[in-house]
Amino acid sequence: MKANSALRFRLYPNRVQTERLTSWSHTCRAVWNTALAQRIWAYQSAQRATVRATEQCLGLTEARQENDWLRDLPAQCAQQVLRQLDAAYDNFWNPDHPAGFPQFKRKHHRQGMIFPGQVVQVRRVSRRMAQVRLPKLGWVRFRLSRPIDGTVRNATISRDGLGWHVAFGIHQREPEQLPVNTGEPVGVDVGIACSVFVSNEDKERQRPDTLTDGEKKRLRGLEQRKARQMAFARKHNGGKYSNKLRRTIAQIAALKARQARRRADWNHNLTTDLAKNHGLIAVEKLNVSNMVRSVRGTVDQPGTNARQKAGLNRSIADQGWFEIRRQLGYKTRRYGGELVVVSAAGSSQTCSKCHIRDPKSREGCGRLFACVHCGHAEHADRNAAAIILDRAFSTAGRKPTTVWEAGISISGGAGSQSTRSPHAGRGTRSGSRLREPSSNVTAARHRGISHHSGRRGRQSYRNTRRVMPGGSVDLSALDEEQK
């Protein structure tokens, strides 16, 4: 019985509990880094050994007997860290997963820990407050902002710029009959100047600014203060951070965390509304990770338009295109709909009436699309959303009017007609990049490179040489094998 949903709440530990949670988070980081270093060393040895969590748990038991700081951490948390490392390796070797090679964690990188469900107890103490019982910590208060319906399978304690949080992995019983969404099919076009445009709407859905004018001014002042304090620390304190500098960093982190919450709230409201009211949602297949890459160049010889490209990258990341698509992936299944991913090539240059692609119809980055062939003119993003929807039905090989006039709902349920591409079964996984695996996937796994890019996989693995105990390790044998 695995968790199929998650609920996140604000946690309110007292001072003693806060200090212990902070200590435990650093211990979990040390366990991760040590276990990862052991696995890298074992694989780069002559035996090419592969180490898993089962073997490392035995060494963990011996280490807990010798080290008091490690013994203070609940054993279940350390075991969960090793299982997380197993999952990280599995994702790295999975050709359908975008994850890279597991990386070592820095001191303040995502502080937190995981407790299995059998050692966690939850009780309600008032209308808005509840408590969770954690091993060696006791009862900790959290704000009950929504009911917990289901069986608690795990609890993740994490910390951001605004404080501590607890996320429960919940198992909810699946309905015997899957829902069928008969809503109108739509195409969704995402952008920067226009956040989202839905094909059946006359006005765009523009996300408001995630920071007010006063917060932007304060953030700019805090960043300038941080720069001055860091320059003073490098010049006079040998790079050691002062308490004032740490407070400045904490204030910046709080503003960034509040900004991220507002962005996530808008994305969730958008995707939930679309998934509830539409039976088919068509989106573009955008490789966001490649779109936000920096320009080539160095500090001495920067690339062309490096500053402009950096601003574009920030705007794309701020809009959360990949997150919108990821949320639509599981929410459409939850509400009985279907998500169809289509090609994005030329969608902003193709007319939704005559279907002729001409770059002259959309010159520049204006909001008007004017076809030079048939004279059709409308909002450029609405025209692109209509093209996206048309491509979704063309992929399935049927017209939208025939399907929806007949009252057939396109969903993931039994008995429904799917609009998924006929090639989608070949290694495609929902929520991933939807890449088609090549014929050399098996060979790539044995060579130790990622399916996404051989150079990327090898380079990620070479980068681990600098963190090996005792200095760098010669990977010439591995390189020869990969050649």
Q: Which positions are catalytic?
A: 189, 284, 381
Please answer whether residues 40 and 468 qualify as being in contact, where contact means their C-beta atoms are separated by less than 8 angstroms: yes
The 8-class DSSP code of residue 360 comes to: G
Cβ-based neighbours of 158, under 8 Å, separated by 6 or more: 110, 111, 112, 164, 165, 166, 167
Sign of the Cα torsion 392, 397, 402, 407 reads: negative
Beta-carbon count within 10 A of 100 CB: 18
Rounded distance between C-alpha atoms, residue 272 and residue 269, angstroms:
5
Task: Take residue 305 and report the two structure tokens written for it.
Answer: 């338009």
Cβ-based neighbours of 218, under 8 Å, separated by 6 or more: 255
**Going along 311-445, which residue ranges are E strands?**
338-342, 368-370, 377-379
Please answer whether residues 288 and 241 qualify as being in contact, where contact means their C-beta atoms are separated by less than 8 angstroms: no
DSSP 222-288: HHHHHHHHHHHHHHHSTTPPPHHHHHHHHHHHHHHHHHHHHHHHHHHHHHHHHHHH-SEEEEE---H
Count the helix, strand and coil residues of the chain and give each as a percent rounded to the nearest 5: 45, 15, 40
Q: What is the largest CA-CA distance in the chain?
A: 79
Task: Count the alpha carbons within 13 Å of 89 in the hemisphere toward its beta carbon.
Answer: 17
Report which of 391, 341, 348 is spatially closest to residue 193, judged by C-alpha positions.
348
In this structure, are strands 129-134 and 121-124 parallel, antiparallel, or unpaired?
Answer: antiparallel
Report which of 5, 6, 96 is spatially closest to residue 334, judged by C-alpha positions.
5
Rounded distance between C-alpha atoms, residue 135 and residue 140, angstroms:
11
> In which region does residue 298 sit, left (phi positive, over 0), alpha (psi from -120 to 50) or beta (all else)?
beta
Residue 205's φ and ψ, nearest 5 degrees, are -105, 100
Which residues, in sequence order, are bridge partners of residue 283? 341
